[in-house]
């Protein structure tokens, strides 16, 4: 088995374990602002500008971030259970291998909404532009100090 196929097998097993995990997602439409904030903070979900959203936007963002599933019932009772359930779900989804390729594949395979895909794309573009800026700075330092690795210049 090659390293790439072993990595893919590991990710498939983790994905299956996460799918087998029964995690109850609360009915966000019945939650008040305080409950939504508690759920957001406990879940570790990344939602841009969550603090500045209206209650309706918070409900929609959390629903989208959790795959759009919810259950009916008492919101406060469900909220009390969420911390243990979220911890369990995170453990099932955790990538043990710190290999950058494995982490990248894991992140890409776990994109579940169009909005999330667009947010990741924007972040990658922003990081790429900043990396170019950083590279320019490093090359400037190399030029200023004459660190050309045995050569006369960059040319």
Cβ(71)–Cβ(78) under 8 Å?
yes
CA–CA separation, 57 and 35 (whole Å): 14
86 domain-assigned: yes
105 has pLDDT over 50: yes
- Kindly report, residue by residue over 35-93, the tens digit of the pLDDT: 888 888 887 778 888 888 888 888 888 888 877 654 444 444 444 445 555 555 555 55
117 domain-assigned: yes
Tokens of 146: 């004459």
155 domain-assigned: yes
149 domain-assigned: yes
φ, ψ (nearest 5 deg) of residue 129: -65, -40
Q: To which residue do tokens 């990081």 refer? A: 127
Cβ(39)–Cβ(26) under 8 Å?
yes
Please check whether residues 85 and 127 belong to one and the same domain: no
Please check whether residues 72 and 28 belong to one and the same domain: yes
Please check whether residues 21 and 63 belong to one and the same domain: yes
Please check whether residues 83 and 126 belong to one and the same domain: no
Q: Residue 62's CB: how many other CB atoms inside 10 A? A: 23
126 domain-assigned: yes
21 domain-assigned: yes
129 domain-assigned: yes
Please check whether residues 51 and 77 belong to one and the same domain: yes
Q: Which of 68, 95, 122 is the last residue of a domain?
A: 95
Our count of domains for the chain comes to 2
Q: Which helix (H) or strand (E) holds 30?
A: none
23 has pLDDT over 90: no
| pTM reported for the whole predicted model | 0.33
Q: Which structural domain range is residue 42 located in?
A: 17-95
Cβ(43)–Cβ(25) under 8 Å?
no
Please check whether residues 26 and 66 belong to one and the same domain: yes
Give residue 30's Cα distance to chain centre: 26
| pLDDT top residue among 127 and 99 | 127
């Amino acid at each position: 088995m090659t390293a790439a196929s072993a990595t893919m097998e590991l990710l498939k097993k983790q994905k299956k374990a996460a799918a087998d995990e029964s995690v109850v997602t609360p009915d966000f439409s019945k939650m008040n602002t305080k409950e939504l904030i508690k759920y957001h903070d406990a879940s570790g979900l990344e939602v841009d500008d969550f603090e500045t959203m209206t209650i309706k936007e918070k409900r929609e963002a959390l629903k989208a971030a959790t795959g759009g599933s919810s259950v009916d019932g008492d919101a406060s009772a469900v909220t009390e259970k969420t911390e243990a359930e979220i911890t369990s779900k995170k453990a099932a989804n955790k990538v043990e291998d710190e290999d950058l390729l494995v982490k990248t594949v894991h992140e890409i395979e776990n994109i579940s909404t169009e909005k999330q895909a667009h947010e990741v794309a924007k972040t990658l573009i922003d990081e790429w532009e900043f990396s170019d800026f950083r590279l320019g700075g490093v090359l400037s330092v190399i030029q200023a100090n004459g660190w050309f690795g045995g050569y006369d210049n960059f040319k």
